[in-house]
Structure 1
Amino acid sequence: MEQDTSYKERKVITIGVVSELTGLSERQIRYYEERKLIFPERSHRGNRKYSFADVELLIDIANKREEGVQTFEIRQEMLKEKRKEEDKKIRKELMRGQINARFGVQKDS
């Protein structure tokens, strides 16, 4: 794991604690993993480890489920949002390259 990872992204929370924080059962949490809505890391012993960002995501998923949104729809929305973020990152890099080229800025090797 990278040292500069923010505390929100560090996967250090066990499934039991996540269950307590979210009010979801461990089975529900594992189900959301099966549906590819959440991606915990595994410890060397195989235990699931979650981040604070995962906890927030699980709460968001639970709220959507209470509103009647299906897991498939949630997954599609998440993929769409991920693509949007990737496109934004690409546009930013292209813009930076154009600005650097325009003003003769050399990229460090």
Structure 2
Amino acid sequence: MVQEDLSYKDKKVISIGTVSELTGLSDRQIRYYEERHLLTPHRTSRGTRKYSFSDVERLMEIADKREDGVQTAEILKEMKRKEERQDRDLRKKMLQGQLNAHFRYGRK
């Protein structure tokens, strides 16, 4: 997806320093969560990380779960399950729309 087509929440425009200020997490913690595949910042041609508001929200959720003692591996599993559910729900809605369009086509 092209950066211009994204909602403002998903555009990767925020520096790691600003993300650190917004979340209260250190740069090191943020990079660690990236290493653990809990988020994926955009990298500029010079390698600078850029984050979105959605990434900031995700980091806040991760920090809350870590404070509750949840391990990063479990957080990753939970995130993958949630994404799979969302993908399934989207496919189901798309299929339902196709079926509705097919069977209602030409009927009034």
Deviation by residue 1:5-37 (Cα, 9 ceiling, x = unmatched): 111100000001101110000000000000000
- 8 Å contact 2:11–2:51 — kept in the other structure? yes
1:28 maps onto 2:29 in alignment: yes
The separation in 2 between residues aligned to 1:2 and 1:57, in whole angstroms, is 19
- Which amino acid counterpart does residue 50 of structure 2 have in structure 1? K
Structure with greater helix share of residues = 2
**Where does the alignment leave 5 or more consecutive residues of structure 2 unmatched?**
none
The separation in 1 between residues aligned to 2:39 and 2:104, in whole angstroms, is 43
1:78 aligns with 79
**Helix, strand or coil at the partner of 1:45:** coil
Listed as ranges, the matches of 1:70-109 within 5 Å are: 70-104=71-105
2:52 aligns with 51
- Which amino acid counterpart does residue 48 of structure 2 have in structure 1? N
What displacement does 1:93 show?
0.9
Aligned-residue CA RMSD in angstroms? Answer: 1.0
The separation in 1 between residues aligned to 2:73 and 2:3, in whole angstroms, is 31
- Which amino acid counterpart does residue 14 of structure 2 have in structure 1? I
Find runs of 4+ consecutive structure 1 residues off by over 4 angstroms.
none
Count of equivalent residues: 105
Q: TM-score, normalised by structure 1?
A: 0.93
- 8 Å contact 2:3–2:11 — kept in the other structure? no
**Where does the alignment leave 5 or more consecutive residues of structure 1 unmatched?**
none
2:11 aligns with 10
Deviation by residue 1:51-103 (Cα, 9 ceiling, x = unmatched): 01100100110000000000000000000000000000110011011101111
What displacement does 1:4 show?
2.9
Q: TM-score, normalised by structure 2?
A: 0.93
